Each structure stands twice: as C-alpha cells, then as structure tokens.
Chains A and B, each alone.
Chain A
C-alpha cells in the first residue's frame, strides 16, 4: 500500500513537484541515523512523517534540501537530482520551502522584510513586486497588519505563520515542515495547522514531520511511520493511524494517543 495516487486538488494553484528518495543512508559518526530509506511522494501529495524522537524523521526531511548530506542513496525533487555532485543547490532550494521548529525568522528584519529579502536577493524580483507578493502571502496567513513589526514582537504562533509566508513568497513547488507546531503554545497550534491544511487543499506537495496525529489523520494523504532509521510502515492515514499493522507502530501510537494509559 505504498503508492496511493492522490487525486490532485481540482483547482491546483501550485506547480507542485514530486520527490523520489531511494536507498538513503546517513550516519553521524557511528550513529547510523538513516538506513536505506525509500520514499516516493507524488506531486500534490501530503505525507506526514511520524515516529519516536531519534527515529531519523527530521534528518530525512533535511536531506531533501540538503541541509544534511546523505552518505549514499539518491533524492530527486522535480527535475533536480539533489544528491548529484554538481546540482545547483541554491536553484533547488528556491523551489523547496522549509519551515523550522524554531521558526528561524530573521530578528533584525521586519516581518515584511523577512518575506521580501530572499525574493529580491535570490529571485531578483523588484522591490515593488516582492512587496506585493509578501503582502499577499502575509494576508493569506492572516498577518497583513503586522508587516512592520519585528519577530520578537510576535507570539510564537504568529512567528511560525510569518515563517510559512516567507517560504511561500518564493513560490515553492514543495514544502518541508520540521515539527512546525512543537515549539508553540497549545492555543496557537490550531492557527498554524489550519494554514497548512489550506496549503494542502491548494495542491502543494508537503512533507511534514509532526506529532499532531489529528492533523496527520485529517490532512495527510499518506502517513509514514519511522523508527530506528527505517520506514516501518507506510500507507493512507486512515490505515496507519487507525489500524496499524506493525507492533512498533501500534506501540508508538498507543503511547502518543493515550499517554496516560500506558502500562509501565
């Protein structure tokens, strides 16, 4: 039950790219973090990576835009072979948006500048155009009125929404989310998740590392459970979360979904 072709959203506004990962290996010293990962993501598909901490989810995500360099295996994003020696990394990254757990907004720039700086410096858009795009994306995440603030004047949830707008302003074909709600206050998690849901509905290809099982169940086309550097189980969200087949998946989900009912 691996390649479940998703019906691409009818009114797709995104020029989405697919991802193909084959035989991916990554170690830190003696710690073998990724052990031969194979994963195929269709254009417009939303895949949630779940699993215990240290299972390699984030590392896998960071290999897709080469923030981490894998030892072996290949990663393809759209027409780019990411793992190719002479890939134009900066060109690739222009097409791959990334949202971090810690937001990583630029504290010395205003909200608007956070969303325009890469447009003008990397995509060479005019200031006016970059501004227009940024304003549109900020309105989309509901923060148009905060464009003159600095990041430290925003709540965590607002910062994360700006971070999403910043990534979207580059017109990405793929969005990577690395535990986007893990550093947020519980009451702001919903805002961020609903923006991500809208993005999914617009047909964006999304790879999301998350502990939000509700989000995975409702939004993901496919859920991939990782443990110990391998993909243990993968399939439609309804199947993997509601009816896991592998004992490790069952154990993990039991702990996550009913934290108080785990026998020690």
Chain B
C-alpha cells in the first residue's frame, strides 16, 4: 500500500496535496471493503445460509398469526405498560420535586431500586414470585403491565424531572408576575415547554419498552398471549427453516421501532428549534 506519508515538518500543506491525500484515503477504505466482501463471498456457504437464515418460503405458516397475534400482543404489552409507566412516572416526578422531604426520599429510593435491578427479575417477581408468596395469579397482561410499567416509571420520572427543570426559571417568574397561581403557571407555561423537551426521550422509552416486552417470554404463555419473541422461538422448533423465524420476529420489531426512532429524531429537531 502506497500511502504518501506527509512530512510532519511540512508547514500548511497546499490544497492540491490535501485533496490527493483525501482521495488516497477513500481508495484505501473502498479497497478494504471490496476485499472483505470478496472473502465473505468465498467463505460463506450460500446454500446453507439461504436455507437456514433467509428461508422465507418455509416460514409462511407463521403468518398471519405472528402479525395478528404476535405483533398485536407486543404492541398491546408496550402500550399498556407505557401508560402505567407514564402515570407512575408523573407521580414519582412530582414526589421527587415535593417540598415534603419524605416524598422525595421515597421517590428517590424507588427510582434507584428499579433502575438498578434487571427488568427480567421484576418479571419473575410478578410472574412467579407473587403467585408463590401470596397465592394470587395475575393474568399475563396485568403482569406485563405491572412489571414493565413499574420499571419504566423509574426512568420516565427522571426524564420528566429533568424536562421540568430544563424550563428556565424566568418562565415561572414571568407567569407568576402576571398573577397566575403556581398550579396555573405549571399547567399553562412550564409543563407544555417541558413536554416538548421530554418528547424525544419519552419516544426512546417506548422503543425500549417494545423490546423489553419480549421478557414476558420467560413466563408461561397461552397461545393467544404469544408475542413476537415467543413466535420466533417456537418457529425454530416447529418449522424447518433454521433461524429464519428469529429473523422474521426481529423484522417485526423493526416495523415498530424504526418509525418510532424516526419520530424521535423529528421531535428532537423541532424542540431544539422552538425551545430557546
């Protein structure tokens, strides 16, 4: 490889030289990529790959249930736990900003606990722990809603608190000096601005919830409660398509998460423009 090593002593290389160096750098990068692809093409057994990873013909029996039931349930688990998480998060955020210290301690302890333990453990607690300890078995949707909702409430609380605190102090002062009571100033002035600030991180939270809803897989599910991950896992044993079912399940997740992530980026661009 012939890289022009520029002499370190050379003061301010002329523009022509800089352009040539950039061209060489691009050529080298392209060459590496071509070589890597060529090596891959030689090494990979394409027939096996097609049969075991991209065998879309063989996974036809997964449809339409993976969409109607699997995707449907994933969405349902996500939305319900987000609702629980948002309500809990609002409550916790208010507690963390309360002037009554014990509320702040409680909320801080809650947030630290649920951000610090794995979500899987919380699923096991509500799916198996609670039935064992108290003899009550909750329906699966309630378990998901509770477990995932409680975990995300901790994250959402922090997001909301940060959002409210990001609204400049002068906003509340201006609102109060116009005669608005504290609650009115919060509702009309501070919260709408905070909402704009927290919209991107909240969208990301929904993406995380979508993926974490797969944890329900560790609980015993009835057929009508299957979500995407369960469909993918069962497809491996039921169909002779190698790991294609997993790939299909993965693509189904992307159907939800990619638009959400585009949306989050949109919100980000908008809020950085509006909030001065």
Query: Which residues of A come within 8 Å of B, CB atoms?
Result: 65, 67, 90-94, 96-98, 100, 102, 104-108, 117-118, 121-123, 150-152, 163, 166-167, 170
A102 vs B169: C-alpha distance when bound (angstroms): 11
Asked if residues A90 and B179 are in contact (CB atoms below 8 Å), the reply is yes
Pick from B49-57, B188-196, B202-210, B253-261 the stretch touching chain A. B188-196
Offer 12 A-B interface pairs, CB within 8 angstroms, sorted by A.
A93-B177, A94-B178, A106-B174, A106-B175, A107-B193, A107-B275, A108-B192, A108-B193, A108-B274, A117-B189, A122-B180, A166-B178
Asked if residues A170 and B178 are in contact (CB atoms below 8 Å), the reply is yes
A93 vs B174: C-alpha distance when bound (angstroms): 11
Main DSSP-derived SS at the A contact region: mixed
CB-contact partner of B276 in A65, A91, A121, A151, under 8 A: A151
- Report if A104-B178 is in contact (Cβ < 8 Å); known contacts: A150-B274, A151-B276: no
Using CB atoms, name the residue of chain B closest to A100.
B170
A167 vs B158: C-alpha distance when bound (angstroms): 35
Q: Which of B168, B176, B192, B196 has the most CB of A within 10 A?
A: B176
B171 within 8 A of A: yes
Asked if residues B177 and A121 are in contact (CB atoms below 8 Å), the reply is no
Chain A residues, CB < 8 A from B180: 90, 118, 121-122
Chain B residues, CB < 8 A from A91: 179
Q: Which 6 A-B residue pairings sit nearest by Cβ, starting from the closest?
A: A94-B179, A104-B174, A118-B178, A104-B170, A98-B177, A93-B179
* Residue interface bits B171-187, CB-to-A below 8 A is 1, else 0: 10111111111001000
CB-contact partner of B184 in A92, A96, A121, under 8 A: A121
Interface size class of B (residues with CB under 8 A): 20 to 34
Asked if residues A96 and B188 are in contact (CB atoms below 8 Å), the reply is no
Chain A residues, CB < 8 A from B189: 106, 117
Main DSSP-derived SS at the B contact region: helix
Chain A residues, CB < 8 A from B192: 108
- Which residues of B236-276 have CB atoms within 8 Å of chain A's CB atoms? 273-276
Chain A residues, CB < 8 A from B175: 106, 118
Chain A residues, CB < 8 A from B275: 107-108
A105 vs B176: C-alpha distance when bound (angstroms): 13
CB-contact partner of B196 in A65, A100, A108, under 8 A: A108
A102 vs B168: C-alpha distance when bound (angstroms): 11
Asked if residues B171 and A121 are in contact (CB atoms below 8 Å), the reply is no
Asked if residues A67 and B176 are in contact (CB atoms below 8 Å), the reply is yes
Chain B residues, CB < 8 A from A92: 179
Chain A residues, CB < 8 A from B174: 98, 100, 104-106, 163
A102 vs B276: C-alpha distance when bound (angstroms): 12
Chain B residues, CB < 8 A from A105: 174
Chain A residues, CB < 8 A from B188: 117, 121
Asked if residues B171 and A104 are in contact (CB atoms below 8 Å), the reply is yes
A104 vs B180: C-alpha distance when bound (angstroms): 15
Chain A residues, CB < 8 A from B168: 102, 104
